[in-house]
Structure 1
Amino acid sequence: MTVPERRVRGTHARRRFDLRATTVTFGLAAIVLILVGWVVRMAFDVAERRPAWVLVLVLGAATACLLRLRARKRNSAARAALRPTDALAVATATTLDELEDGQAARGAEHPRGEETTLVVPTRYEELSPDEFEEAIAGLCRRDGCTEVEVVGGAGDLGADVLAVAPDGRLVVIQCKRYSDDNKVGSQDLQRFGGTCFTVHEADVAVLVTSTDFTAPAVEYAERSGILCVDGERLRDWCEGTGPAPWELLPSEEDGTEPADRALW
Structure 2
Amino acid sequence: MARRRRSRAARRRWARHLWWGGAVALVLVVVSRAGVWPYLLGVLLVAGAAAVAWRLWRTDRFVRGRDRLWRQEEAVKAGRRTLAGVDTMTGTEFEELVAGLCRRDGCTEVRRVGGAGDNGADVLGRLPDGRTMVVQCKRYAPSRAIPTRELRDLLGSQVHFRADLAVFVTTSRFTGPSERFAPAHGILLVHRDHLGLWHNGASLMSLSEVNGRGQGDARHRARWKQAYGG
Q: Could you tell me the TM-score, scaled by structure 2's length?
A: 0.56
Q: Secondary structure of the residue that 1:174 maps to in structure 2?
A: strand
1:172 equivalent in alignment to 2:131: no
Q: Secondary structure of the residue that 1:234 maps to in structure 2?
A: helix
Q: Which residue of 2 aligns with 1:136?
A: 98
- Give the counterpart letter for 2:186 in structure 1: G
- Relative contact order, CA 8 A, sep 6+: which one is greater? 2
Between Structure 1 and Structure 2, whose CA radius of gyration is higher? 1
1:160 equivalent in alignment to 2:110: no
Question: For 2:67 and 2:144, how far apart are their aligned partners in 1?
Answer: 42
- Give the counterpart letter for 1:206 in structure 2: V
Q: List per-residue Cα deviations over 1:160-213 (Å, max 9, x = no partner).
A: 1111111111121100100022111111111111221x1111212110000100
State the identity %.
41
Q: Which structure shows the bigger proportion of residues in helix conformation?
A: 2
> Which of 155, 167, 170 lines up with 1:206 in the alignment?
167
Aligned residues: 142
Question: For 2:193 and 2:162, how far apart are their aligned partners in 1?
Answer: 28
> Which of 56, 68, 71 lines up with 1:115 in the alignment?
71
Structure 1 gaps, min length 5: 1-110, 250-258
Q: Secondary structure of the residue that 2:160 maps to in structure 1?
A: coil
Q: Is the 8 A contact 2:134 2:157 kept in 1?
A: no
Q: Which residue of 1 aligns with 2:185?
A: 224
Structure 2 gaps, min length 5: 1-65, 215-230
Q: Which residue of 2 aligns with 1:215?
A: 176
Q: List per-residue Cα deviations over 1:23-75 (Å, max 9, x = no partner).
A: xxxxxxxxxxxxxxxxxxxxxxxxxxxxxxxxxxxxxxxxxxxxxxxxxxxxx
- Give the counterpart letter for 2:188 in structure 1: L
Q: Secondary structure of the residue that 2:133 maps to in structure 1?
A: strand
- Give the counterpart letter for 1:127 in structure 2: M
